[in-house]
Amino acid sequence: MAEACTKIRLCSTDDVDWDSAIRVEEGDLILAVFNVNGVFYVTDDLCTHGPGSLSEGYLDGHTIECDFHNGAFDVRTGEVVTPPCMVPVKTYKVSIEDNSVLIEV
């Protein structure tokens, strides 16, 4: 049987410019919401390597480069693209409803 999930609204699709990101705090979660050519992805905002905020990093296609030590992740999967990051960043399942960006938790 599928586990029940809760959808949380993070922002409007209009809040995130194309090929950029915003930081959203929702309860205990601090998240980065990315808009890559009109497709939305959500990860934890905190870099797994240190204090970097991924929403303030440099987004190039699906790659987000942390502006602290230039490590990078794929926003689709959270996988590390460039060291010194070693640990993938958590990603969330995203859906769009009525121009809102939602995640499932």
Question: Helix or strand or coil: residue 87?
Answer: coil
- 49 in contact with ligand FES (CB under 6 A): yes
Q: What's the CA gap between 54 and 62, in Å, rounded?
A: 13
- 78 in contact with ligand FES (CB under 6 A): no
Torsion of CA 75, 79, 82, 83, to 10 degrees: 130
- 87 in contact with ligand FES (CB under 6 A): no
Question: Contact region for ligand FES (CB under 6 A) — 5-13, 14-22, 25-33, 45-53?
Answer: 45-53
- 71 in contact with ligand FES (CB under 6 A): yes
Check: CB of residue 47 under 8 Å from CB of residue 85: yes
What residues line the site for ligand FES (CB under 6 A)?
47, 49-52, 66, 68-69, 71, 84-85
